[in-house]
Amino acid sequence: MMRLPDKWLLGLIQNRVVDDKKTNIDTAGKMIAEAAARGAEVVALPEMFNCPYNSRLFPGFAERYPDGETIGMLSEMAAAKNIYIFGGSIPEREEKQIFNTCFVFGPDGSLLARHRKCHLYDVDLKDGLTFKESDVLERGNRITVVNTPFGKIGVGICYDIRFPEMARAMALQGAVLMVLPAAFNLISGPAHWELTLRMRAVDNQFYVAGVSPARNEQASYVVYGHSMLVDPWGKIVQSLEEKEGIIVAEVDLERLRRVRDEFPLLKHRRVDLYELREL
């Protein structure tokens, strides 16, 4: 069995999304290259990094695998920079259906996995925000954990983080990191973004990377930003504010092992009283 490296570098891209798809793709590509130049061996992008977060726009920005221009850029950059890319999410079209999908590519440019958002964001907040993804999008039906030389990495998308069973299923499959492309807004972001990321990290004693687009005040849906990496003790390793930026931060698997050894939550589960069963 191959030994995992004790420490490695993760890059998080917080790009500002505009109405022009080509601009978004070009910006993301340049930021991936910069993260790789700073030593990132795994790079993750935000939810809907090529498309404004507006359900009316998803069909027009949607791409089919493997021919989409965003998909092609992710594959090419993974190969060119010899890195793993967790491609945030984009609208993906399959036949007549559209999904909110994260494509994951390996350092040879091959597709390793795709995660389709499982929990759709259908909310009607009294503060004035109404959003119903299910009007346009279909649900994914799979928990995604990707094998890499740096450890197993789980993938969720935005609203998926609010369902603790999903993160726990990843931990039970051996994940050392959960990557969460997301687009929390100015209502949910200040209230729950940091809280939820840190709680999932503490619950499961793994790293959690929340990756948001940068804030665009002119957008119809204004995101919170504040991408961050949280360690297994719930400590924020590094974070951004609302503006465009890149995080390159260390994932320390020795720290993860130490937290789990000293505070063995996963071993103390009462599986005689409850269990998590996957269909």
The residues annotated with a catalytic role in the active site are 47, 117, 158
| Secondary structure of 11-37 in HEC code, one letter for each residue | EEEECECCCCHHHHHHHHHHHHHHHHH
> Measured between alpha carbons, how far is 55 from 91 in angstroms, rounded to an integer?
10
Q: Where are the beta strands (DSSP E) in the chain?
A: 7-14, 42-44, 84-86, 90-94, 97-105, 111-116, 122-124, 130-132, 144-146, 152-155, 175-181, 207-211, 228-230, 236-239, 245-252
Judge whether 158 and 178 are in contact, CB under 8 Å. Answer: no
